[in-house]
Structures are given as structure tokens and as C-alpha cells.
């Protein structure tokens, strides 16, 4: 049976190269990620970092100029571009120092509005993915479904509603948190139905409100706790170098930023990721 790693290897070694031949924005995106991977493997190199940034900026420029609308003809290349871009940005954030919790978390929070800018693409993925998007393989579903205890995660998210009532005095802010809790819970339910995290994880960034993202950027405790629940799903991609150990480090940082009074609310992420 094909594992998640096998499916990922098939995508990067066979499927992506096919699309690269016809899409220069994807070519530069792959080159950017490759240069950054060399930094990861061999240590910081200003040459490789500079090369990575040049290719990344070129990829972004080409994508914006050439992809005006998403169609069945370009959706596969567009999805791979998003994969590469998010992988690149995650890799850059992954290289930051986790001892500086605020800065480390900022690197990943900054990815959320970046993905929100691709809402049209995300909506298209949701509509077209059944017939057009790349498959993660038949064996990947079973593997991913075992990544974490989704039922317990949903229960933990439900309990956050009580924290919201108890800790949020402002009615508007309370409504923002409630929507974010519901949106995250919906992603968990979607994961249970679909099995693949490819679409649900990306969709979360568009599902939460801009006001919630502002609260997240301000590092409000409940916003960070909700984000910690979302981070657990990233464990399914821990075999990838730009994600490896990130969920654990992120939740540990989030715990330090929120303080001991929020430890109970973070119990499920702690248990799932083995964070003490």
C-alpha cells in the first residue's frame, strides 16, 4: 500500500517536473525551493539564500502575470505552485530561531494572509479537485486519518467556546473567536470525510476571518490557542524537511506566549504532539 511519503515522492519526482516543462512560474518556484533546501542541508549560505529569493520573486511575478483565472487546464500547475510557495515560505520560517518564540510564530502566522490572497485559487481547488487536482494516493488516506485523534480535537475545540465566553468581554471579538473555532472544527470534520489534508489545511486560511488574523498577529491568547489546534494537523507532513518538528516547536512556543492559565486549553495539542 502506498504511504504518504511514497505519494509525496511521486508528486515531486514525476508529476511536478511534467508541469515545470510547460510553466515557467512553476520552474522558478521549484528552483527557489531547491536552493533553500540546499541551505537546510548544508547550513546557511548567502549565495544559496540570495539565489532562492531571486527565483521566488520571479515565480511570484510570473504567476501573477500569467494566471488570471483558474481553469481545468492550469489548476494542476497552480496547485503545485501553491505547494512550492508555501513550502518555501515554511522553510524560511522553519530556519528562524525557536528560542525567540514571538518571532518564530510570526514567521508562520505571516503565511496565513499570504494564502488568503489566493482565495480564488482555493475556491477553484475546492470545486475542481475531485476531477483535476493531483491525488495523494490510495494509501495516503488511511495513513493521514491516523495522524491524530480528530474526535478528541473536535471536542477540545468545542470546549474553547466556554473559554471564549469566560475570557472575552468584547462581544464583537467574542464573535470573531467563535467563527474561528467553528471554521477550525469544520476543517477537522472535512479531514475526517476527505482523508487528505491538501485542501482542508489550505482552506483554513481562507475560512477564518481577517479580524481573527489580526488578533492572531497581536498574539491574543485565545487566538493562539485556536491556532495551536490547527497546527496539529501539520503533523501529517512532518516527513517533509520544511515542516519537520515545526508543529511541536510551534505549540511549545504558543504555550509560552499564552502562559500557564491556558495550559488546560492546550491539553489536546500537547498530548497529540508530545509537548511537555
Domain span at residue 166 reads 150-273
Stated pTM of the model: 0.78
- 116 within some domain: no
- 106 within some domain: no
Residues 216/223, Cβ–Cβ less than 8 Å: yes
Q: Are residues 261 and 172 in the same domain?
A: yes
- 135 within some domain: no
Residue, of 136 and 212, whose pLDDT is higher: 212
- 1 within some domain: no
- What's the number of domains the chain is made of? 2
Which of 61, 77, 95 is at the close of a domain? 95
- 50 within some domain: yes
Q: Are residues 77 and 188 in the same domain?
A: no
For 205-221, the pLDDT digits (tens) are: 888 999 999 999 999 99
- 159 within some domain: yes
Question: What whole-number percentage of the chain has pLDDT above 70?
Answer: 81
- 232 within some domain: yes
Residues 198/136, Cβ–Cβ less than 8 Å: yes
Indicate the pLDDT class of residue 140, thresholds 50, 70 and 90: very low
| Least trusted range by pLDDT, from 181-190, 194-203, 267-276 | 194-203
- 139 within some domain: no
Q: Are residues 259 and 183 in the same domain?
A: yes
Q: Are residues 269 and 195 in the same domain?
A: yes
Q: Are residues 73 and 161 in the same domain?
A: no
For 81-124, the pLDDT digits (tens) are: 888 888 888 888 888 888 899 988 998 888 887 766 665 565 55
Indicate the pLDDT class of residue 161, thresholds 50, 70 and 90: very high
* Cα–Cα distance, 116 to 267 (Å, whole number): 29
pLDDT of residue 47: 84
Q: Are residues 78 and 166 in the same domain?
A: no
Which of 48, 66, 95 is at the close of a domain? 95
Q: Are residues 156 and 263 in the same domain?
A: yes
Which of 61, 95, 129 is at the close of a domain? 95
Amino acid at each position: 500500500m502506498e504511504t504518504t511519503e511514497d505519494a509525496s515522492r511521486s508528486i515531486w519526482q514525476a508529476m511536478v517536473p511534467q508541469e515545470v516543462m510547460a510553466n515557467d512560474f512553476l520552474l522558478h518556484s521549484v528552483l527557489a525551493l531547491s536552493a533553500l533546501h540546499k541551505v537546510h542541508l548544508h547550513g546557511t549560505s548567502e549565495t544559496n539564500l540570495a539565489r532562492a529569493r531571486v527565483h521566488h520573486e520571479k515565480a511570484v511575478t510570473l504567476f501573477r502575470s500569467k494566471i488570471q483565472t483558474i481553469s481545468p487546464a492550469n489548476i494542476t500547475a497552480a496547485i503545485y505552485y501553491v505547494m512550492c510557495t508555501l513550502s518555501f515560505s515554511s522553510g524560511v520560517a522553519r530556519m528562524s530561531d525557536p528560542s525567540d518564540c514571538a518571532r518564530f510564530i510570526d514567521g508562520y502566522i505571516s503565511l496565513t494572509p499570504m494564502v488568503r490572497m489566493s482565495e480564488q485559487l482555493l475556491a477553484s481547488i475546492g470545486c475542481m479537485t475531485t476531477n483535476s487536482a493531483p491525488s495523494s494516493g490510495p494509501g495516503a488516506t488511511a495513513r493521514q486519518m491516523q495522524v491524530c485523534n480528530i474526535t478528541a480535537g473536535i471536542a477540545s475545540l468545542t470546549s474553547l467556546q466556554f473559554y471564549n465566553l469566560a475570557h472575552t468581554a468584547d462581544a464583537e471579538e467574542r464573535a470573531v473567536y467563535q467563527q474561528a473555532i467553528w471554521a477550525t472544527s469544520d476543517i477537522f470534520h472535512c479531514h475526517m470525510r476527505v482523508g487528505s489534508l491538501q485542501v482542508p489545511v489550505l482552506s483554513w486560511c481562507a475560512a477564518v476571518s481577517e479580524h481573527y488574523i489580526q488578533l492572531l498577529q497581536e498574539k491574543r491568547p485565545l487566538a493562539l490557542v485556536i491556532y495551536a489546534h490547527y497546527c496539529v494537523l501539520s503533523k501529517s507532513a512532518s516527513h517533509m524537511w520544511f515542516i519537520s518538528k515545526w508543529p511541536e516547536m510551534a505549540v511549545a512556543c504558543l504555550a509560552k506566549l499564552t502562559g500557564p492559565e491556558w495550559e488546560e486549553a492546550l491539553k489536546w495539542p500537547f498530548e497529540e504532539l508530545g509537548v511537555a
